[in-house]
Structure 1
Amino acid sequence: MRRLLVPAALLLPLTLLLTSCGGESAADTGGRIDGSGAVTLSVGDQKGGSEAVLRAAGELKNLDYRIRWSTFTSGPPLLEAVNAKAVDVGGVGNTPPVFAAGAGSRIAVVAAWHGTSRGDAILVRDGSELSRPEQLRGKSVAVAQGSSAHYQLVASLEKAGLRLKDVKVKYLQPADALAAFNSGKVDAWAVWDPYTSQILRSKQGRILTTGDGVTNGLTFQVASPSALGNPKKAAAIKDYLARLRRAQDWVHGHQEAWAKVWAKDTGLPYDVALDSVRRSNSTRVSVAVDKPLVASEQKIADAFTELNLIPKKVDFDDFVDPRFNGDLPPSTTAAKH
């Protein structure tokens, strides 16, 4: 008999992934940036995100500054904290910066990674009558507003000849969307990994379509302009981004090792973590914050402006800072497969 609910053992990891908290990293050091004063970098993160991969790759050793970590459920609230100067820098997907920019937030994209969008999916329950995105007309779809999944839904519908108004959008954060999905209160769920991998592994649903070839596959580190204007914090951010890039390079060659650490950190089953690493996390390559990136994000901004979901037209070029590009390859560099 097909199970209608995710087993309790799988609900706990999802709860852990959605916790919001703050605290100083156990890996903090008491070092100084240049000997003239201690610096604390406030970093926004998501569970099993930057802190976990930096630790796994050994990149939290010998820091010359302290890191105070704050964990958020998704990108939009993290960027609210960046705008409020509560966070100096943090990681998000491709869409939250667009909504933040549309709201006039004070943010700057300072680093980017290009990966596949195979983990960004529209899911339907096992047994659903839906087999093609075109059949979503008139159906209810759960999605987190302003998330990368939000644009993935818009773009996937457009590819299928539909518009957002052709479906019944239910704006729900992942915890509520999961409950609605499993109880049959929505017909589909637009979400990202590791939720995609978890639903597939638990055999509670299947993929209707993914964002692969539809969305740009970009993820970002976004900083507060006030932090960038502080020479000591800017130096810390530069070092932090270099460590993140090395950590991501480490993931490419250590997928199983990273999956074990990630599973332990989040409470995810190891097989779910490994699926997500292989499908999404290990595909990311460090790329420059450049003109093609701005153009790609501008397309997202224009789409949401046209839908009246952003109150004013956004010039995304005003919300990037390429000072940390160095000799990174262009943002159009192919993701690893």
Structure 2
Amino acid sequence: MTDLPRFRAAAAPALSAPSRRSVLAGALGAAALAAGRPVRAAEPGLLRVGYQKYGTLVLLKGKGLLEQRLKPLGYRVAWAEFPSGPPLLEALNAGAIDLGSAGEAPPIFAQAASADLRYVANEPPAPLGEAILVPRDSKVQSVADLRGRTIALNKGSNVHFLLVRALAEAGVPYEAVNLAWLSPADAGAAFARGAVDAWVIWDPFLASAERSTGARTLVTGQGLAPNRQFYLSTRSATETHRDAIEAALTAIGEIDAWAKDNTDAVAAELAPSVGIPAPVLTVALRRLAYGVTPLDPATVADQQRVADTFHALGLLPKPLRVADAVWTPARNG
């Protein structure tokens, strides 16, 4: 797994407070443009998998287990790395990949941009794996104190929903905070130098910031956001690659079962590629939940609440029904 680039913080761009309209345009614009272009059809005999540099799919890639499981089916595998869930789902909607994973919010925006999105499986909730951080010496003591402050987060990511829920619970209007849309690398740099007042982030960047900056946690996802990881595909890919996707989910389950009982080994394996020390990764890995399964009614209901929340805020152009995008082996696409 040494072929993956190391994590480096980049300089943060100028910060601003986008309006609801600009949030919607940013979250849906690229995906909608991709959906408006001719979509590449799934290619027989090739499963294209999108992954982020931390998580089960990275381990699957590093161990070559997916290739082993798919070779008897006459498949080869092509891998593509993405910095976060939103661009991965943009690529999925555009037909550039067939399978990938992301947190709660990106699939909502992706489904709003394309009815072809399919949820194929999910991991159990891991609410402690995301949080709102503030600097150690910050005067901010609660979420209510974030009113009028500048908060960094990745646009349309899983932590977007966490922030919305946390603000609502604290009685702070969504419009009462300034949102700085930054990638984890840029947000980490801005947070470290004090250019933002708070940072909403997920593991392993969360564990890294806690260790390197002494950041304080205002809230985690506990009681606010489940922080599930979803495995996602498209109608075309589930039709063309049904057997391959089922085999991939089986392989993911095997990796999960190993990783659950070998967090130190997983951390040592991921550290060179992620660029975060193994002891820090171990903290993050112990906050994960393992065990890939089809979406059950409770999971669909939780995800529907995410969709309804974003629609109520005006961040989705129309209501959507999550259940329409749930795929199972018994369904034809």
| Structure 2 equivalent of residue 300 of structure 1 | 306
1:105 Cα shift?
Answer: 4.9
Alignment map for 1:199-218 (pairs within 5 Å):
199-218=209-228
One of 225, 228, 232 as aligned partner of 2:235: 225
1:290 Cα shift?
Answer: 2.3
How far apart are the structure 2 equivalents of 1:52 and 1:219?
Answer: 14
1:226 Cα shift?
Answer: 0.7
Residue 236 of structure 1: SS of its match in structure 2? helix
How far apart are the structure 1 equivalents of 2:200 and 2:250?
Answer: 32
Residue 285 (str. 1) matches residue 291 (str. 2) = yes
Query: Counterpart of 2:188 in structure 1: which amino acid?
Result: L
Q: Percent identity?
A: 36
Query: Counterpart of 2:299 in structure 1: which amino acid?
Result: L
1:38 Cα shift?
Answer: 7.0
How far apart are the structure 1 equivalents of 2:263 and 2:270?
Answer: 10
> 145-154 vs 179-188, which deviates more?
179-188
| Structure 2 equivalent of residue 260 of structure 1 | 268
Gaps of 5+ in 2: 1-5, 11-42
Q: State the aligned residue count.
A: 291
Residue 156 (str. 1) matches residue 150 (str. 2) = no
CA contact (8 A) 1:103 1:310 kept: no
Residue 140 of structure 2: SS of its match in structure 1? coil
How far apart are the structure 2 equivalents of 1:56 and 1:212?
Answer: 31
1:138 Cα shift?
Answer: 1.2
Residue 109 of structure 1: SS of its match in structure 2? strand
| Structure 2 equivalent of residue 19 of structure 1 | none
How far apart are the structure 1 equivalents of 2:250 and 2:113?
Answer: 30
Query: Counterpart of 1:124 in structure 2: which amino acid?
Result: V
Instruction: With the length of structure 2 as denominator, give the TM-score of the two structures.
Output: 0.82
One of 98, 101, 118 as aligned partner of 1:88: 98
Residue 71 (str. 1) matches residue 65 (str. 2) = no
Query: Counterpart of 1:287 in structure 2: which amino acid?
Result: T
| Structure 2 equivalent of residue 328 of structure 1 | none
| Structure 2 equivalent of residue 246 of structure 1 | 254
Alignment map for 1:1-337 (pairs within 5 Å):
13-14=7-8, 39-55=45-61, 59-60=65-66, 62-63=68-69, 64=71, 65-230=75-240, 233-280=241-288, 283-323=289-329
Residue 238 of structure 1: SS of its match in structure 2? helix
How far apart are the structure 1 equivalents of 2:186 and 2:68?
Answer: 40
1:293 Cα shift?
Answer: 1.6
Q: What whole-Å deviation, never above 9, does each CA across 1:25-47 have from its counterpart, x for those lacking one?
A: xxxxxxxxxxxx97110001001
Residue 268 of structure 2: SS of its match in structure 1? helix
Gaps of 5+ in 1: 1-11, 17-36, 326-337
How far apart are the structure 2 equivalents of 1:285 and 1:163?
Answer: 36
CA pair 322-163 structure 1, distance change in 2 beyond 3 A? farther
Instruction: With the length of structure 1 as denominator, give the TM-score of the two structures.
Output: 0.81
Residue 216 of structure 2: SS of its match in structure 1? strand
How far apart are the structure 2 equivalents of 1:78 and 1:279?
Answer: 23
CA contact (8 A) 1:139 1:167 kept: yes
Q: Higher helix fraction: Structure 1 or Structure 2?
A: 2
